[in-house]
Amino acid sequence: MRKLALRAALVFLAAAASIAAASDERLIYETESLYHHIVVSENDDVRILRFHKGPAAEALGSDFAQSVISLADPYSLHMQYAKHSMVGAALVESPKRALFIGLGAGTVPKFFARAFPECQVDVAELDAKVVNVARKYFFFPDLANLKVTVMDGRQFVRQSKDKYNLVMVDAYRDEMIPFHLMTFDFLEQVKAKLAPGGVLISNIAIRNDAELYPWALRTYQAAFPTLFEANVPGTINRVLLGFAEKQKLAPHDIELAARGLAGRVSFDYDLVRCAGVYRDVSMARPSKNILTDDYAPVNLMRLRKADEKDWKY
């Protein structure tokens, strides 16, 4: 158990070194909200958003960030999970409406809104202060096709009367996992909002996740008959692509679709290489391991992890 945790930590620390070094990272803003201690910092190259529990000084140079932008090009996608998530957009032909649950610094929604100007982009973000920080410090723009609603993502899904070609769930954080956005019941609600041929993109970042992640994966497998997973290299992130209906889709098809999108939208990274990471994980798993509104023992699993006790799933 200790060896697995140490190996995961070493991999992530190596990746985090590219974000910022403590020696040249400086604090530029912090604030408390009902939900977060919001910390904004930067070095000469990037600006970083963190939700940090302790003093802001302890966050500087740490191995975890919610969002990172390049100061030279604030619209570019800097974090690896964000780059890999755009593979999902390649699987939707001419999206007309998209929903992002969770804003962070707004890097993916603003990239998507500019890349697809014909698409109406909705964002549901729980914390109004996060929206303010994204606008003031992370160049989140006012675009005609980009609308932010301050509301819990699940409430937004339940109240929305729209159908979406693409839905991205990016509201997980290691220290506080919103279990109501991880359950089968929630995923069924999202699936009902997908237009024909639509795709769900989900970023899951759970540190040292040997116990919890299999439950999350099996829950997604129960909800989506076709499911692909990218274990994003050098990070703790997994990106899932889910389809409401069974798809005849092979990994090679995903790479072809990514190549097609890269020919229409300008990316400053290799989208096709990102597509090559995805693998089919559609195989059904035992129903006893599915997170539901009635049974989602997320906190119990995390407490057991803290005590380094075995959790059988």
Output 83 or 17, whichever has higher pLDDT. Answer: 83
- How far apart are the C-alpha atoms of 101 and 153, rounded to whole Å? 5
Q: Is residue 280 part of a domain?
A: yes
Same domain flag for 156 and 273: yes
In a domain, 305, yes or no: no
Indicate the SS3 state at residue 77.
Answer: coil
Taking residues 244-268, what's their average pLDDT? 96
Question: Using CA atoms in the order 177, 148, 19, 79, what is the torsion angle rounded to 10 degrees?
Answer: 80
**pLDDT for the residue 42:** 96
Question: Hey, how many other C-beta atoms are within 10 angstroms of the C-beta on 172?
Answer: 18
Do 40 and 88 fall within a single domain? no
pLDDT of 211 higher than 90: no
Q: Which residue matches tokens 């190996």?
A: 7
Residues 201 and 265 in one domain: yes
Residues 213 and 273 grouped into a single domain: yes
Where residue 176 falls among pLDDT bands split at 50, 70, 90?
A: low
**Structural domain of residue 250, as residue ranges?**
80-299
Alpha-carbon gap, residue 276 to 83, rounded angstroms:
12
The domain boundary residue, chosen from 38, 70, 102:
70
Domain's final residue, options 50, 70, 90:
70
Per-residue model confidence as pLDDT tens digits over 122-144? 999 999 999 999 999 999 999 99
How many domains does the chain divide into?
2
Same domain, yes or no, for 187 and 291?
A: yes
Listed residues 47, 70, 93: the one ending a domain? 70
Q: Strand 97-101's sheet: what is its strand order?
A: 146-150, 120-125, 97-101, 164-169, 194-205, 237-243, 226-231, 279-280
Provide the b/e sequence for 244-256 (b: ≥16 CB within 10 Å).
beebebeeeebbe
